[in-house]
């Protein structure tokens, strides 16, 4: 039996991933985490075989958490879920010790394959990612899939946008991401300029439309 922890900062997403995993008779979901730090704490206590984790989360993102997880006495194999298809990000993730990198649009088709491969000690990459790495595709930019407007945002701006939509203040966002409140405000201004949105309500609507937050989060 492959013992798995699911880590994502949105309850509905965690439940969807859990539902996919529990379709398999050889996989058991033994815990859920809402951020990178909680994922590490659970891993220390429950000693999972595999952790399926969103790359964008509060406190520690997926890559940072993977770096810490591989230092545990019983390190789990980490699979990251991401909107980003930039080979540079994938290579950074692999250097952090992850054993799988899945594009979120491919999760339904590939998640079980990735978990089983990781449990065997193999590396699983979404076919699109594998092709990019093999071809040395330098033309792929560090952008999320989704609307053209969303693709203009950097990974950090997406993190800030998600937390704004979750109702977090600039001070709290700074604490969660380990940056200053002033830097958060700069990211907020950049978001509004890039998206041509000039109020918080508009940013929240944009985040919901692009599935960066879930409707059960109070919206």
Residues 17-46, mean pLDDT to the nearest whole number:
95
151-166: average pLDDT: 83
- Report the alpha-carbon distance of residue 8 to residue 206 in Å, rounded: 20
- 152 three-class SS: coil
Alpha-carbon span 86 to 2, nearest angstrom:
29
Q: What is the DSSP letter of 144?
A: B
Rounded average pLDDT over 106-135: 88
User: Domains in the chain and their CATH numbers?
Assistant: 2-135 (3.40.50.2300), 148-217 (1.10.10.10)
Mean pLDDT of the chain: 85
pLDDT of amino acid 214: 54
Closest CA to 54 of 195, 215, 212, 217: 212
More confident residue, 138 or 131: 131
| pLDDT higher at 144 or 108 | 108
pLDDT given for residue 140 in this prediction = 40
CB 53 within 8 A of CB 9: no
- DSSP string computed for 16-78: HHHHHHTTSTTEEEEEEESSHHHHHHHHHHH--SEEEEESS-SSS-HHHHHHHHTTSSSPPEE
Percentage helix, strand, coil, to 5, in the chain? 55, 15, 35
pLDDT in tens, 110-123: 999 999 999 999 99
Note the pLDDT of residue 136: 61
Q: Who has greater pLDDT, 177 or 124? A: 124
| 217 phi, psi to nearest 5 deg | -85, 15
| Number of residues in the chain | 219
CA distance 186 to 76: 36
Q: Per-residue DSSP letters for 184-216?
A: HHHHHHHHHHHHT--SHHHHHHHHHHTTSS-GG
Confidence band, pLDDT 50/70/90 cuts, at residue 23 = very high
Whole-angstrom Cα distance, residue 177 to residue 187? Answer: 12
Reported confidence tier of residue 79, pLDDT bands at 50, 70, 90: very high
């Amino acid at each position: 039996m492959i013992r798995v922890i699911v880590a994502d900062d949105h309850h509905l997403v965690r439940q969807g991933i859990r539902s996919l995993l529990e379709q398999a008779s050889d996989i058991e979901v033994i815990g859920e985490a809402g951020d990178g730090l909680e994922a590490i704490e659970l891993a220390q206590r429950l000693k999972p075989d595999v952790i399926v984790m969103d790359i964008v989360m509060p406190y520690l993102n997926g890559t940072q958490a993977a770096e810490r997880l591989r230092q545990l006495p019983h390190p789990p194999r980490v699979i990251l879920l991401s909107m980003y298809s930039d080979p540079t990000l994938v290579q950074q993730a692999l250097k952090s010790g992850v054993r799988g990198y899945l594009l979120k649009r491919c999760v339904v088709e590939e998640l079980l394959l990735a978990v089983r491969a990781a449990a065997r000690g193999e590396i699983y990459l979404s076919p699109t990612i594998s092709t990019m790495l093999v071809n040395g595709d330098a033309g792929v930019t560090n952008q999320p899939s989704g609307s053209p407007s969303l693709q203009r945002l950097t990974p950090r701006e997406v993190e800030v946008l998600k937390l704004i939509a979750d109702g977090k203040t600039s001070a709290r966002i700074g604490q969660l991401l380990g940056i200053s409140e002033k830097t958060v405000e700069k990211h907020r201004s950049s978001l509004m300029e890039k998206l041509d949105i000039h109020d918080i309500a508009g940013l929240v609507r944009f985040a919901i439309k692009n599935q960066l937050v879930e409707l059960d989060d109070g919206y």
